[in-house]
Structure 1
Amino acid sequence: MDPHVSLLTLGVSDMTRAIAFYRDGLGLPMRERKGDGPAFFPLDGTWIALYPRDALAEDATVSSEGDGFAGVTIAHNVENRAAVDTVLREAADAGARIVKQAREADWGGYSGYFADPDDHLWEVAWNPVLDIG
Structure 2
Amino acid sequence: MEQRLTIVTLGVSDLKKSTRFYENQFGWTKSNASNENISFFTLNGILLSLYENSELAHDAEVSANGNGFKGFTLAYNTNSEHEVDLIIKKFKEKGVKIVKEPQKAHWGGYSSYISDLDGNLWEIAFNPFLKLDEKGNVLE
Q: Which runs of 4+ in 1 moved over 6 A?
A: none
Match status 1:124 vs 2:131: no
Look up the SS of the partner of 1:90 in the other structure.
Answer: helix
Structure 1 residues without counterparts, runs of 5 or longer: none
Superposition map of 1:79-98 within 5 A = 79-98=79-98
**Structure 2 match to 1:52:** 52
Query: Take 1:95 and 1:16, find their aligned partners in 2: how far apart are those partners?
Result: 18
Does 1 or 2 have the higher relative contact order (CA < 8 Å, sep 6+)?
1
Distance 1:110 1:121, change over 3 A: same
Look up the SS of the partner of 1:70 in the other structure.
Answer: coil
Contact kept in structure 1, 2:73 and 2:120, CA below 8 Å:
yes
Q: CA deviation at 1:94?
A: 3.8
CA-to-aligned-CA distance 1:23-58 (integer Å, 9 cap, x gap) = 122111211332x22100001121100000110011
Q: CA deviation at 1:101?
A: 0.6
**Structure 1 match to 2:106:** 106
**Structure 2 match to 1:13:** 13
Query: Take 1:126 and 1:84, find their aligned partners in 2: how far apart are those partners?
Result: 7
**Structure 1 match to 2:37:** 37
Report the residue type matching 2:40 in the other structure: F
Contact kept in structure 2, 1:21 and 1:94, CA below 8 Å:
no
Structure 2 residues without counterparts, runs of 5 or longer: none
Tell me how large the CA RMSD over aligned residues is.
1.3
Query: Take 1:20 and 1:80, find their aligned partners in 2: how far apart are those partners?
Result: 28
Contact kept in structure 2, 1:95 and 1:117, CA below 8 Å:
no
Report the residue type matching 2:104 in the other structure: E
Query: Take 1:49 and 1:72, find their aligned partners in 2: how far apart are those partners?
Result: 16
Match status 1:63 vs 2:69: no
**Structure 1 match to 2:24:** 24
Query: Take 1:101 and 1:12, find their aligned partners in 2: how far apart are those partners?
Result: 24
TM-score with structure 2 length normalisation?
0.88
Q: CA deviation at 1:6?
A: 1.1
Report the residue type matching 2:91 in the other structure: A
